[in-house]
Amino acid sequence: MFFGIVHLVGMVATVVMSALLWRQRARQGRAWPWLMAGLVAGVLWPVTLWPAVAAYWHRKGESAKAPLIAGACALGAVIMLLVVGGLSGSDQRAQPAGPQVLREPSSPPPSVITPEPVLAPPPQQDRAQVRDVLDDDRVLIQVPGREPQVVRIAGVQAPAEGECWSSEARAFAEGALRDATVQVTFGVGWSSGRSPEPEVSLILPDGAEYSSLALQQGAARLYPQAFLAEGLTSELTQAEATAKTAGRGLWGQQCGAVRAAPVPPQAEEILPAYYATCEQARAAGVAPLRRGDTGYSSTLDSDADGIACD
């Protein structure tokens, strides 16, 4: 009877200790090792108790140390509980509490490849002969080895027939272009509201750009809906301003145009709209010329980098 009570108390003590340790460790996310340790200790408790009982009965009349042996066996069960729980929990301490998120191994970021700048192809240039002047801003040209082609002179609008200075503008175009061998640059722009002929820049044998020359002499006006390359637009705008200031051609008093007010003496001198050669630009002290500068001409910019006579 006595040993049955001792066995029962030992079992209850083991389960209570296991439950207390389980609750303590549950707060830290490591409950199951202690629960398993409690179950193991509960199973081992009878194994450790019965040898103690047997030793007690065997030495009952011979030794007073039998109860100590039984207590030592019970203490051994408790120590085993702590050891098993501690060893089982050590693997869990290395893992952070809470659900684990699996991550793929980090890989080096892909190398950033800087795309190379895409350069626009240079405008097509050809040598051609002007076969006919059609209507002052359209001409018939022929590139050697090709069929004759009608092109439109970029950025200009000649006076219509019957308009002031129309006959003089026609004579100017005939004299400068007919049968002349010119350098033709395609792809310089386009104009809204006109026939679809390609717009070209014509370089005369003396190196002058025809559109700029015609505007500077007042033989044409700048077409308001022309969308041209930036450098060419600046050049033609300056050429027309020069003709207006000087009162040339269709901007003269004979056509009822009001001349621009005279420039005050302190104002900066208006430079020519273009220079035929880089020698003239250097002699005037304006070289090198950048795109947008007064006097800049695409004819003088041989490498098309926006800087002429460099």
Cα–Cα separations (whole angstroms), residue 190 to 135, 200, 222, 229, 305: 18, 9, 13, 9, 22
Q: Taking a C-beta distance cutoff of 8 angstroms, is the pair 88, 36 a contact?
A: yes
Q: What are phi and psi of 138, to 5 degrees?
A: -130, 140
pLDDT tens for 101-128 read 555 555 555 555 666 665 556 778 899 9
Q: What is the mean pLDDT of residues 186-203?
A: 89
Residues 6+ apart with CB under 8 A from 275: 281, 284, 286, 289, 295, 297, 300, 309
pLDDT tens for 208-248 read 999 999 999 999 999 998 888 878 899 999 999 999 999 99
Looking at residue 213, the DSSP 8-state letter turns out to be: H
Looking at residue 305, the DSSP 8-state letter turns out to be: S
Closest CA to 192 of 228, 163, 167, 158: 228
Q: What is the mean pLDDT of residues 88-96?
A: 49
- The rounded radius of gyration (Å) of the Cα atoms in the chain is 52
Distance CA 112, CA 114 (A): 6
Q: How high is the pLDDT of residue 183?
A: 95
Q: What is the mean pLDDT of residues 27-38?
A: 59
Residues 6+ apart with CB under 8 A from 209: 201, 202, 203, 235, 274, 297, 298, 299
pLDDT band at 138, cuts 50/70/90?
A: very high
64 token code pair? 């007073």
Ranges of each domain in the chain: 2-88, 125-262+271-308
Q: Are strands 149-153 and 199-203 parallel, antiparallel or unpaired?
A: parallel
Distance CA 310, CA 251 (A): 35
Per-chain mean pLDDT for the chain: 75
Distance CA 69, CA 48 (A): 10
Of 2.40.40.20, 1.10.1740.110, 3.90.870.10, 2.40.50.90, which CATH number belongs to 125-262+271-308? 2.40.50.90
Distance CA 82, CA 34 (A): 8
Q: Does 85 or 93 have the greater pLDDT score?
A: 85
Distance CA 74, CA 35 (A): 19
User: Count of residues for the chain?
Assistant: 310
Q: What is the mean pLDDT of residues 4-25?
A: 62
Query: What amino acid is encoded at 269 in this protein?
Result: E
Distance CA 18, CA 10 (A): 12
- What pairs with residue 255 in β-bridges? none
Q: How high is the pLDDT of residue 108?
A: 55
281 token code pair? 């630009």
